[in-house]
Amino acid sequence: MLQISEPGGRPARHVTRKRAAGIDLGTTNSLIATDVNGEVRTLADATGAHLLPSVVHYGADGAIVVGALAKAQAAADPANVIVSVKRALGRSRDELTAGGDYRQYRFDAERDAASPAFVTAAGVRDPVAVSADILRTLVRRAEERTGEAVDGAVITVPAYFNDSQRQQTRHAASLAGIKVLRLLNEPTAAAVAYGLDTREEGDIVVFDLGGGTFDVSLLSLRKGVFEVLATGGDTALGGDDFDKVVADWLADQCGMESIAARDYPAMMQVANSAREALSDGDRVELAWGGASYLLTAAEFSELAAPLLRRTIVACRRVLRDARMEAGAIDNVLLVGGATRMPIVRQAVTDYFGREPLQDIDPDRVVAIGAGIQAEVLAGNKPAGDFLLLDVNPLSLGIETMGELVEKIIPRNTSIPVSKSQEFTTFKDGQTVMALHVVQGERELVGECRSLARFSLRGIPPMVAGAAKVKVTFQVDADGLLSVSAEEASTGCKAEVQVKPSFGLDLGEVEKMLKDSHEHAKADMAARALREARLEATRLMDAIDSALAEDERLLAASEKAGIDQALDKLRQAMAEENAAQIEERTEQLNHASEDFAARRMNMTVGAALRGESINVIDERTE
């Protein structure tokens, strides 16, 4: 048959639809979601299970098993079954061994401590390679279920994942052969799923308690724009920690001083089963070593109280950052399997004064939101349907003279973002500028986290303060940072992609924020003192240099006045009183005004000596 077109008509275009997927790479379980008959859904395996346990077993024959079958071998072969690998991303060997969560594993001693790797029967595997095996299994499931290759995926990460952890997630996807369309913060993914399903508008808190991480984000949903107003959380808090308090209780009941490495996986499985049972009942019996121990819901609530307090403290901090009260929140969304615990739901209800929403399965909501965003980025869904505005969780800045921090991108700034600021040289003839990129909320470099160092060379030798160096910080949609510096007159440029060797210590993000509030007054006082000393030092250096060259321009009484002002300023600096230093600096400025004017007149006169007035006029036209 022939296709007949009307005269002047346009031929129909064949629209190629790309297979996009959303992946929730979780600490305890992982999922993959894609479009099925016009609706984004999570995909199940051949047994009907949607959740893929984030567990990998490495056999002596080289076989790699991922999921429930691997989890079943955790007690029998703990050293070769890697669990909770997401917590190991971006962390050093010392961090992994300090907490005891990885006590059953042996680490490769030949690897750098900053990039640890597990020694397994199938060889050495680092956290990136283990994560890649999980991702590869999820993509294979999608391809088997849909009969199509996955063209690209949106992968979710905790909002508080730092640059190193995000980079390693991308690297894992690359090893698995996945094209990453975007890394998406988990709370934002949940908001996408709820926002598009319910068309809610207002201010919404996403309370995301997963197996290994906790995130809380405050989002504003207005006219299709999902804007993250503030975010917080704890990268070392999740359902695993609730299991651990039960395991510790059981060990105490058994008379153990500590849990042996060989017993740890099996005892954690018993604790996990007990915790899940308490979500539906008021008591549970735990069997261990031939004996049985009764744990009630009330006892579990008491054991878990410190963990619950940590979640509420994070909620309170996020609301404070956004200058909002708990009563002003329109909805609270519960995300993550650990939010099934009644004690968690009750704690959230008590704090916010309202019942949280659980319309979408809390285990699946993140993957669904990621799948919806993947459809947009793949071109299958109009981009105008909604707009995502994420934020960076901690301030990014640069070290300035006096070990001070100049914040370029403040925390909770919407990303992607690019911001620039101009800096200058401190000393005469300076041709190199060392740049130190830091992250944190404190005023002094020593209290912040170092991210990277690089140098800008080729600055023309000028007097101090004459050179103009533009420093640009750029954070992309995945939360990854690049920093560049460019000198204005020559165009010489240097840049760095920030890829720190390992991530923040456990609880360090929360500690950094807490410390910034507790030490705010002291930090500002320290900054004021440093700035006053810097200004005073700069002025004294300039006057000492001027006196060495042109002291002949001064009368004896004028020289004595400047010397007296210099002595008073040095005395004030020794006493470290910011207000007094500023006052004495101003006095020295006043005492040296006439001297500075004479030197300037002499310099200008020397520059113009012998010039024709006509030539000077031509230059100024």
- Mean pLDDT for 321-334 is 90
561 plus 463 within the same structural domain: no
Q: Could you tell me if residue 130 is inside a domain?
A: yes
The rounded distance, in Å, linking the Cα atoms of 163 and 183 is 11
Q: Could you tell me if residue 288 is inside a domain?
A: no
Q: Tell me, what's the pLDDT at 74?
A: 86
The rounded distance, in Å, linking the Cα atoms of 26 and 92 is 20
Q: Is the pLDDT of residue 11 over 70?
A: no
481 plus 539 within the same structural domain: no
Dihedral angle at the C-alpha atoms of 316, 317, 323, 328, nearest 10 degrees?
A: -30
Q: Tell me, what's the pLDDT at 200?
A: 56
Residue 207: which H helix or E strand, with range? Answer: strand 202-209
The pLDDT tens digits for 98-120 are: 766 787 889 988 888 878 999 99
506 plus 575 within the same structural domain: no
The rounded distance, in Å, linking the Cα atoms of 97 and 610 is 76
Q: Is the pLDDT of residue 534 over 60?
A: yes
The pLDDT tens digits for 262-277 are: 888 889 989 999 999 9
For residue 219, give the 3-state DSSP assignment: strand
The pLDDT tens digits for 45-78 are: 999 999 999 999 999 999 999 999 999 998 889 8
Q: Could you tell me if residue 96 is inside a domain?
A: yes
211 plus 80 within the same structural domain: yes
- Mean pLDDT for 72-87 is 90
- Mean pLDDT for 435-440 is 86
At a CB cut-off of 8 Å and minimum separation 6, what does 415 contact?
389, 390, 391, 392, 475, 476, 477, 479
Our CA angle for 56, 61, 66, nearest 5°, is 15
Find the CATH number of the domain harbouring 233: 3.30.420.40
What is the amino acid identity at position 143?
E
Q: Supply the DSSP symbol for 338.
A: G
Find the CATH number of the domain harbouring 425: 2.60.34.10
Q: Could you tell me if residue 295 is inside a domain?
A: no
Choice among 35, 101, 186, 478 that is catalytic: 186
Could you tell me which residue, 386 or 555, shows the higher pLDDT? 555
Q: Which tokens belong to 497?
A: 């992609």
Q: Is the pLDDT of residue 203 over 70?
A: yes
Q: Could you tell me if residue 298 is inside a domain?
A: no
Q: Could you tell me if residue 12 is inside a domain?
A: no
Q: Which tokens belong to 188?
A: 């934002």
Q: Is the pLDDT of residue 137 over 90?
A: yes
Q: Is the pLDDT of residue 404 over 50?
A: yes
For residue 543, give the 3-state DSSP assignment: helix
The rounded distance, in Å, linking the Cα atoms of 86 and 442 is 28
Dihedral angle at the C-alpha atoms of 316, 318, 323, 326, nearest 10 degrees?
A: -50
169 plus 127 within the same structural domain: yes
Query: Does residue 186 have an active-site annotation?
Result: yes
- Mean pLDDT for 193-206 is 70
Which residues constitute the domain of residue 547? 521-608
507 plus 587 within the same structural domain: no
Q: Tell me, what's the pLDDT at 505?
A: 40
Asked whether the beta carbons of 231 and 208 are under 8 A apart, the reply is: no
442 plus 589 within the same structural domain: no
Q: Is the pLDDT of residue 93 over 70?
A: yes
Choice among 95, 133, 163, 208 that is catalytic: 208
411 plus 352 within the same structural domain: no
Q: Could you tell me if residue 244 is inside a domain?
A: no
511 plus 529 within the same structural domain: no
Question: Based on the number of CB atoms within 10 Å of its own CB, is 47 exposed (0-12), middle (13-18) or buried (19 or more)?
Answer: exposed
Q: Tell me, what's the pLDDT at 315?
A: 94
Q: Tell me, what's the pLDDT at 20?
A: 94
Choice among 24, 126, 215, 443 that is catalytic: 24
Could you tell me which residue, 197 or 148, shows the higher pLDDT? 148
Out of 364, 389, 414, pick the residue that ends a domain: 389
Asked whether the beta carbons of 56 and 70 are under 8 A apart, the reply is: yes
Strands in 96-188 per DSSP E: 118-120, 123-125, 152-157, 180-185
Q: Tell me, what's the pLDDT at 537?
A: 82
Least confident stretch, 17-21, 496-500, 548-552 = 496-500
Three-state SS sequence of 51-83? CEECCEEECCCCCEEECHHHHHCCCCCHHHEEC
Question: If you write DSSP's letter for every residue of 406-458 in order, what string do you get?
Answer: EEEE-TT-EESEEEEEEE--SSTT--EEEEEEEESS-SBGGGSEEEEEEEEE-
Q: Is the pLDDT of residue 141 over 90?
A: yes
497 plus 585 within the same structural domain: no
Exposed e or buried b for every residue in 65-77, given b needs 16+ CB within 10 A?
Answer: bbbeebbebbbeb
Asked whether the beta carbons of 134 and 23 are under 8 A apart, the reply is: no
Choice among 71, 86, 244, 381 that is catalytic: 86
Q: Tell me, what's the pLDDT at 123?
A: 92
Q: Tell me, what's the pLDDT at 4?
A: 39
Label residue 305 by pLDDT band (50, 70, 90): very high
Give the global pTM: 0.59
212 plus 200 within the same structural domain: yes
Label residue 424 by pLDDT band (50, 70, 90): confident
Indicate the average pLDDT of the chain: 82
**No. of helices (H) and no. of strands (E), the chain:** 16, 27
Find the CATH number of the domain harbouring 553: 1.20.1270.10
Exposed e or buried b for every residue in 157-184, given b needs 16+ CB within 10 A?
Answer: bbbbbbbbbbbbbbbbbeebebebbbbb
Q: Is the pLDDT of residue 8 over 60?
A: no
Q: Could you tell me if residue 433 is inside a domain?
A: yes
What is the amino acid identity at position 176?
A
Maximal C-alpha separation, the chain: 109
Query: Does residue 86 have an active-site annotation?
Result: yes
Q: Tell me, what's the pLDDT at 197?
A: 41
Out of 517, 534, 568, pick the residue that ends a domain: 517
The total number of structural domains in the chain stands at: 3
444 plus 556 within the same structural domain: no
Could you tell me which residue, 50 or 591, shows the higher pLDDT? 50
Out of 517, 540, 569, pick the residue that ends a domain: 517
The rounded distance, in Å, linking the Cα atoms of 406 and 397 is 5
Asked whether the beta carbons of 20 and 154 are under 8 A apart, the reply is: yes
